[in-house]
Amino acid sequence: MNRTSAARLATSLFDTLFTSRPAVLTSAPGRVNLIGEHTDYNGGPVLPVALERRTAVAASHADDWIVASDMDRKVLALDIDAPLRKTWTDYLVGVVRELRPLRAAPPGAHVAVATTVPIGAGLSSSAALTVATAKALSLLAGRRLTPAQLADVAYRAEHDRVGVRCGRMDQTVSAHGERGTALLFETATGALRRVPFPGRLWVVETGVSHQLTGGALNDRRRECEEALDRCREWRPGITHLAQLLPADLPELERRLPSPLRLRARHVITETARTRAAAAALAAGDLARLGRLLVEGHESLRTDYESTIPEADRIVASAVEHGAYGARLTGAGWGGAVVLLAPAEREARIVAEVTRDFAERFGRAPEIWSSRAASGVRREAIPV
C-alpha cells in the first residue's frame, strides 16, 4: 500500500493548526524485534530491525509549549513542570526534561506529531515518538545530538519519567537503525553490530492492544531481578541473568522456585538463540533463523508466559503453511507477530494465516510487510 509519509502528515497538521511552516521536521522509525525478547533488561543481546513505518515531529520556535498529534488533532497547551497527565504528551514532556541538563531543550515550541506506526501493537510507537521528538527539539535548540545521545534521552524519558521499566532496545534501534540491516545490540556492553537484512519481513497484528505502563512488563522485570538475586547465592559474581549459560540450567532449575525458574530459563535460552540467530542471518541461512524464531516463541509461551492465543495461532499457522518462522515480537500480552517467509510462498502464507485467524477469532488481522529502514533523521520540509 502506498501510504502518505508521517513527515508529510506532520507537516500538513502543523500548517493547519499553527497557520505557519515548521522550522524543523524529523522522523524516527518503529521497530520489530526479530529475536531477543525480554533480554535487554537482563544484559542479553537483541536483534531488532527499524521499520518503514515512522513517527514524524514538526516543530517551530515559541515561548510557550503547544502540541498536537494526528491521533486526536486536539491542540494542547503544556506545562513542562506540571505533573504528568497519563497521556501521549508525557513522552514529550519526559524528553524535554531530559534535554534540559544537556542544554538541548528550547524554551518552548509549537509541535505537531503524526505517525504511521500502529499504537499499542508492540512496534515501539513510543520510542519512535521520543527519539523523533528528541531530535526535533534539540535541533530547535541549536544542538546536534549523536544517535547515542538521542537514544539515551529517549530511554530516560520513557523509563525514568513515564515509568515504563523498559530496556534500551527500542530507542537504540530507532536511533541507530540503518537501511537493509538488523542491529545486533549487546545490551551489557552497548556493542552494536549491523547484520545485513536485505529481504522483507511481515508483521501480523493480533489486534489485541497492550498497555505497557499498566504493569505486566514491570512485573516480569521484578521477577527477573528476584531470580538474579537468588542466582547470586550460588554464582556471586554475576550482574545479569544473561551471563548464565545453558549449561547452568540444571542447577538453576534445582535451586529456583517457579515461576522464577521459568523466567530465568527463558532469558538464558533466548540469549543463546539470539546470538545463533544473528549468525544464521549473517550466513543467509533463513531456514535456521526461522526455526530459532519459532523456538523463541515457544519459550515466550511456556516460560515467560507473555504470549496470547491470537499470536500462538498465527505462529502455528505460519509454520504449517511454509513460513521460515514467526514469533510474537515486543513486550507481549498483545501486539504483533513477526513472520519471515520465502518470497515465492509469501502470498499463499499471508492468505492462509488470514483465513486461519478469521476462522478462529471471527475477524481478519492486519498484515503488512516492511524492509529494514533507517533510524532517526532530519527530513526536508515538504512544500
Active site residue 312: no
Which of 106, 167 has the CB closer to ligand GLA? 167
- What's the min distance (Å) between Cβ of 108 and ligand GLA? 29
330 half-sphere exposure, CB direction, 13 A CA radius: 34
Which of 310, 356 has the CB closer to ligand GLA? 310
Name the residue number minimizing CB distance to ligand GLA. Answer: 166
Is residue 321 packed enough to be buried (19+ CB in 10 Å), middle (13-18) or exposed (0-12)?
middle
Distance CA 57, CA 67 (A): 10
| Binding residues for ligand GLA (CB under 6 A) | 37-38, 40-41, 166-167, 169-170, 217, 330-331
Contact indicator for 43, 227 with CB cutoff of 8 Å: no
Which of 170, 186 has the CB closer to ligand GLA? 170
Contact indicator for 337, 294 with CB cutoff of 8 Å: no
DSSP single-letter state for residue 171:
H
Residue 305 in grid coordinates? 508466559
Looking at 170, 219, 229, 285, which residue is catalytic?
Answer: 170
Beta strands in 210-321 (DSSP E): none
Which of 292, 331 has the CB closer to ligand GLA? 331
Distance CA 325, CA 341 (A): 7
- What's the min distance (Å) between Cβ of 330 and ligand GLA? 5
- What's the min distance (Å) between Cβ of 155 and ligand GLA? 9
- What's the min distance (Å) between Cβ of 132 and ligand GLA? 16
CA-nearest of 314, 307, 373 to 341 is 314
**Which residues are known to be catalytic?**
170
